[in-house]
Amino acid sequence: MKPVEVAIIAVSDEVLSVSIDYHRREASAIKRWTADRPVVDAICDDLEEVLREAAEMTFTDTERAERRKQTEERLTSLGLALFQEIMKEEGDTIRAEAGDPEEGRCLILKIDKALAYIPFELMHDGSGFLSHSLAIGRIILTEEVETAPSSGDLLPLKIVIVGDPTDDPAIRDDVEREISAVRGVFAGQKAYSLKIASGRGADRRFILSNMPGAAVFHFTGHGVVSEDPNCTGIRLQGGRVLSGHALRGLQRPPGAVFLNMCTAAPRSAWKGSLGIVETLLRRGVRACVASLWDLRSKTATSMASRFYAYLLRGETFGHALRRARLDTIRDKGLHDPTWAAYALYGDPRLTLLGEPVSARRARRTLQALTVALGIIVFLVASLFPRAVHKERVGTDAVHPVGYLLVESHPEDATALVDGEAGARTPGTIELPVGRHHLVIEKQGYKSWEAWVEVRESVRIDVHADLVRLKP
C-alpha cells in the first residue's frame, strides 16, 4: 500500500493550501481545502512557549508529577488544535489509508520550505500524536536535486562523526558521550569504517574532506540559525559558520545526515530558512534528520544511538525514527520535548543503503533462503561427507579478501593497484589477500607508491600526501 501524501503550500501570509492524496487504486482520491495560517502560527507560538518551558523545567519532587502532567496535557491540546486546523476532519481516513500497521504506516508531507518551522510531528489526531503511529517524512518543494546521491556501493561504508568544532567546555562531556554512543552502535560492523573528529580537529577542512561519499554524516554541537540561509548551519571555531553556501558544490553527497545540534534562535528565525539542510537535500542527500528546537543533551544522545541501532536492523528511516521516539518517551517521559524535536527530511520508506521497503523484503527473503540452503548443505555434509567431498573436487576456491581505504591530499587522484586502476581518492578497494603494489597519481603531482599487505576482512587505511611538481 502506498503512503498517504499531504501537500501544504503557503498561498499567502493568511492562507495555506492543503491537499491530500490517498493513492487509492480504484480512482483518484485527492481532497483539497485551505487552512488559516495566522491560526497555525498562533498555535506554533503557544507550542514554542510550552517546549521552552519544558526544556528549562526544574522542580522539586513534590511538584514533579503535576508539572509533567500539565506539560503533557498542553502538548496534547495544542497538537489537537494544530491537526484540526491543518488536517480538518481527515484523522479517521488517514489512519485507515496510511497502511497496514504490520507493514508500516507512512505519511509524506510535501511542504514549502517556508513552512518547515511548523512541528507537524506534534499533530494529534485524537488517538495519539501522528509521529507515534506513522513514519513521517518531509519532502521540501524546491528545485530538483542537482546531483545523484552517493551510490553506497563501496565497502566498507564510511561513517563520519563530527563533534562540536568550537570545543565549548559547557557541552564537551555531552559531545564526547554522544560520539562514544554512536561509535558503539557501528563498532564491530565490518561493512562500516569510522572517521571521527571533535574540538579543534573537527575543522572545516576535516568536514569538507570527509563528508563526500559518506554513508552517514553525524554532527553533534552548536548550530546557527539566521534569516539569511547562507548564515544558517554548523558553528565552527572563531565564530565561523559552515553554511549551505559552502556546500553548494558538494560532490558525492553523503547518503544520510543527522544534525544533532541546538540553536539559540527562536522559531520565527526558521521561516524561509532551511540553510544547510536545504543545500544537502538539493545536492542529493537521501535523508536528513534535524532538530526544530533546543535539545536535552542526554536525551538527544539516546535518540541518535537508538535511531542508528534500528537502521542497522533493517528498519526504514521513518520507522527507525518513530521507534526511537517511542523508546525515548518510555524512558524519559512525554514531557521531555526532545522526542518531538526531530524532523526527517526525505522519503521515510528508504533504508540505510537506499533501498525501498519492497527491495529490503526481497533481500530478507533471499537471505532466509540462503540460510535454509546452508543448513541443508550442512546436514547433507554430515550425513554423506564423502559424497559431498567428491562433489567439491574441481570447484573454484573462494579467495579471502581485504580492503584498502585510499585517501590523498589533494583528493581526486587515481589509485592503481598492481598496474590497474582501482579507485579515485578517497575510495575503497577490495583486494585478494596478499602483497600488492599501490601507486597514487594526479596530474601536476609526483606519483606516490608503496607496497601494502592486505589481510583477510581487514581494512587498511592509506593516506598519500602528494608533492606538486615544479613548473
- pLDDT for 393 equals 35
DSSP percent split of the chain into helix, strand, coil, nearest 5: 40, 25, 35
Return the number of other C-beta atoms located less than 10 Å from residue 450's C-beta: 11
Up-side HSE of residue 47: CA atoms within 13 Å toward CB? 30
C-alpha cell at position 355: 533501498
Kind plus residue range of the DSSP H or E element containing 383: helix 357-383
Q: What residues contact 272, with CB distance under 8 A and at least 6 apart?
A: 113, 114, 227, 229
* Cβ proximity of 290 and 259 under 8 Å: yes
3-state secondary structure of 245: helix
* Cβ proximity of 450 and 415 under 8 Å: no
* Cβ proximity of 192 and 156 under 8 Å: yes
Is the pTM higher than 0.85? The answer reads: no
Instruction: Report the greatest alpha carbon distance in the chain.
Output: 81
Could you say which DSSP state residue 129 is in? B
- pLDDT for 46 equals 93
Per-residue pLDDT tens digits of the chain, which is 471 residues long: 577 889 898 888 899 989 888 766 555 567 888 999 999 999 999 998 888 787 776 655 556 678 888 889 999 999 999 999 999 877 667 766 665 544 567 889 998 888 888 999 999 988 889 899 889 999 987 655 555 444 444 456 899 999 999 999 999 999 999 999 999 999 878 788 899 999 999 999 999 999 998 999 999 999 887 777 677 889 998 889 898 888 888 888 899 999 998 765 445 555 555 678 888 888 889 899 998 887 778 888 999 999 999 999 889 999 999 999 999 999 888 888 888 889 999 999 888 865 444 444 554 555 566 566 767 756 665 655 544 343 333 333 446 777 777 888 888 899 999 888 778 887 778 788 888 989 999 989 999 988 888 876 666 778 888 988 887
- pLDDT for 98 equals 60
* Cβ proximity of 236 and 204 under 8 Å: yes
Phi, psi of 321 (to 5 degrees): -70, -40
- pLDDT for 142 equals 64
C-alpha cell at position 443: 596530474
Phi, psi of 222 (to 5 degrees): -95, 140
